Structure 1
């Protein structure tokens, strides 16, 4: 997910994580991503501590450089999930025998100012942050990395930005990137028997071009045809030109793919259906972040990619229930709240495995951990700065999101 211009770990199984950081050469390939064991889901609920055999000299301190303005669609639920998970870990004994310290610095500024991100992260570092949780978008994320410069790990909680995945600078995504989610969307479209598509792209932000280019590469590679790539701008309030062009196509496309958000997506869907176009609409995690189902009947039947969904192979449902019971309100967007919890779980597992809060040791530990998080197994072993994890395909049914399937694409664009 990119800017528009958004359980505690299964620490009972932490010994497995520590072993992965020790002498065990047997690496996971990530194909079981999102498939947590039953024990993992249960332990995530139980909230076991993360001390293991490690005793830290100083408490682990996590700083969240959060964008609560335009990036709030990700960072608001992400920060809630992260903070709650810190509370749960501390209630169970903390990490290395000490409670985690947690601080949030807001970097929001309109219009976006890269210096705001740099000031926020510098304040976190000056306050002793050992690990930084980063914002969703590269306009803040890249300037932030200029300050951290590999001195501490940065986990970008809800970002799918390819440019923010850079282990050499200590930078990691908590979930998949844009090429992966767009490739999964294209594979899903092909499996539905769709052979003809139209895409909508914008040059306003990379997200709106990278996704459509990746979709096109995989869809056409599987034998499909993309009849047109139509352009739009963020802030557009009228999509009649694009809708009329789609309606005039003969044949009309089986599918329309774009990674746009609300409100633009809502306007497009309304005008598309009013024009009598019945093509399937497929989108990216921006539909999830902006809660496309809230627009009503026009969103019924749309498909979109997301980072997770409550199910028997993860701890998401229990995490949501526990959070609401503790806080008296929902965490917000399910996937992004869960990713906030995942980020803290990864940080805690790395500190316990390294038995250190040293930046270089933590970066190395993250690259070698496999940990049961809320959304399933998260591993950076052998995959660089982006974990290999399943993409959830959701649809809107009766005004609410529902899971269709989850899988890792067999072909990833640019791979």
Structure 2
């Protein structure tokens, strides 16, 4: 089932995510212009023969809600590609040449136009928007042409299936993230009881808590209730009354809600005396949520980032942050950087520039090192197993708790 795109921006990466963070004119222009200067790599790239060039198309949003993710995602991709090109290209010989498509403007109609124009130019690989609806609509054109595609920072499980065998996720899927959170809550946090706060307004807010419940109960936890809200709901009184009526207050409230809905719920819940810990999803891994002070203190957040001094992620983040300080705390860029590294590896292993050969090599990638850990595509149906971090909000910052990789046997079956 297709889902309408949201009415406003939000964090990260899920199927139809939104964020309230600001995307500056400078950042958008940097994404559109790209180039070596965008990541601060000095010098002139080596010359490449025509048959040693992989043509990559960016069909991404520069405006609208999806720009909050697509901008950072593109900058991360650029950084990875520029680094590789400065060293002679993928495998030391294949240049990655980026062509910017027209602004998808967070619209499926514009996304189709953007992708169709890029396909006419003969791109070998396409990076589409974080907006799952746009990626599916535009991806069908790429599917017909047999072009390898990555669906931005989207986490919606069914995007590859809706498009076909040329579409891949670059980010963790919702069943992996929700399932991982359930295991972490039960085993590491010692949470015994949880209430699920859901919304059927999109698959992310509806299904992630259900994936959580599968593994949480498998590891000894108990779901004591479920409440459903609508986006931009002003009054959470009914849900709060239901929680208050439980025999005992739950240890945690697990939700994939995000701004402004989760802060609104939290204000009302805390005012009503509910002290349950909040276990959230990647949708709240954003500076604007962290800035909410005591309201969000001790909240658990799932993230692509591993903000630990001395880690490989931190090394890369320092380089990226010098050129893009307004984007470094938005984890979309590291999803893009990692996706760029994976593509570079696939091109190297394929030893070819055509889409079919690169795709075949991508399918064989297993335990490939990226800044946060290891990525595998083998055996995961075009939805990668990627590193996941758990952070705890303390004094306005996401403090690293643990990096986790869920056991394959524990991954909940996709809800399609």
TM > 0.5 fold call = yes
Equivalent in the alignment of 1:3: 16
| Distance across 1 between alignment mates of 2:50 and 2:307 | 34
1:286 aligns with 2:283: yes
The equivalences for 1:115-154 within 5 A come to: 115-149=109-143, 151-154=146-149
Would the aligned equivalents of 1:320 and 1:331 in 2 still touch at CA under 8 Å? no
1:374 aligns with 2:367: no
Equivalent in the alignment of 1:348: 344
Would the aligned equivalents of 2:182 and 2:213 in 1 still touch at CA under 8 Å? yes
Count of residues paired in the alignment = 371
Match of 2:176 among 177, 180, 185: 180
* Secondary structure at the counterpart of residue 398 of structure 2: strand
* Secondary structure at the counterpart of residue 388 of structure 1: coil
- Pick 1 or 2: higher relative contact order, CA cutoff 8 A, min separation 6: 1
| Distance across 2 between alignment mates of 1:93 and 1:388 | 29
Equivalent in the alignment of 1:402: 399
Equivalent in the alignment of 1:83: 78
Match of 2:321 among 315, 319, 324: 324
Alpha-carbon shift at residue 55 of structure 1 (Å): 7.5
Q: Normalized against structure 1, the TM-score is what?
A: 0.81
| Distance across 2 between alignment mates of 1:290 and 1:61 | 34
Equivalent in the alignment of 1:265: 262
* Secondary structure at the counterpart of residue 57 of structure 1: helix
Would the aligned equivalents of 2:352 and 2:358 in 1 still touch at CA under 8 Å? yes
| Distance across 1 between alignment mates of 2:364 and 2:290 | 38
Equivalent in the alignment of 1:32: none
| Distance across 2 between alignment mates of 1:55 and 1:352 | 16
1:232 aligns with 2:245: no
Q: Return 5+ residue gaps in structure 1 as ranges.
A: 7-44
| Distance across 2 between alignment mates of 1:324 and 1:199 | 36
Would the aligned equivalents of 1:131 and 1:347 in 2 still touch at CA under 8 Å? no
Would the aligned equivalents of 1:259 and 1:283 in 2 still touch at CA under 8 Å? yes
Alpha-carbon shift at residue 388 of structure 1 (Å): 1.9
Q: Normalized against structure 2, the TM-score is what?
A: 0.81
Would the aligned equivalents of 1:180 and 1:413 in 2 still touch at CA under 8 Å? yes
Equivalent in the alignment of 2:54: 60
Would the aligned equivalents of 1:4 and 1:205 in 2 still touch at CA under 8 Å? no
Alpha-carbon shift at residue 169 of structure 1 (Å): 1.8
Note the alpha carbon deviations across 1:129-150, whole angstroms, 9 max, x for none: 2111122232112112211116
Alpha-carbon shift at residue 277 of structure 1 (Å): 0.9
* Secondary structure at the counterpart of residue 227 of structure 1: strand
Q: Which moved more, 1:273-282 or 1:217-226?
A: 217-226
Would the aligned equivalents of 2:193 and 2:250 in 1 still touch at CA under 8 Å? yes
Alpha-carbon shift at residue 376 of structure 1 (Å): 2.7
Would the aligned equivalents of 2:143 and 2:167 in 1 still touch at CA under 8 Å? no
Instruction: Note closer, same or farther for the CA distance 1:266–1:103 as it changes in structure 2 (3 Å cut).
Output: farther
| Distance across 1 between alignment mates of 2:411 and 2:140 | 29
Alpha-carbon shift at residue 312 of structure 1 (Å): 7.0
Match of 1:206 among 203, 208, 214: 203
Match of 1:338 among 334, 340, 349: 334
Alpha-carbon shift at residue 247 of structure 1 (Å): 2.6
Note the alpha carbon deviations across 1:7-61, whole angstroms, 9 max, x for none: xxxxxxxxxxxxxxxxxxxxxxxxxxxxxxxxxxxxxx999xx99xx97714112
Alpha-carbon shift at residue 65 of structure 1 (Å): 1.6
Would the aligned equivalents of 2:287 and 2:330 in 1 still touch at CA under 8 Å? no
Note the alpha carbon deviations across 1:163-209, whole angstroms, 9 max, x for none: 12359522221232101111111112212222221111111111111
Name the Cα RMSD after superposition: 2.8
* Secondary structure at the counterpart of residue 100 of structure 1: strand
Equivalent in the alignment of 1:413: 412
Match of 2:250 among 227, 250, 253: 253
Would the aligned equivalents of 2:69 and 2:130 in 1 still touch at CA under 8 Å? yes
Equivalent in the alignment of 2:36: none
Instruction: Note closer, same or farther for the CA distance 1:289–1:130 as it changes in structure 2 (3 Å cut).
Output: farther
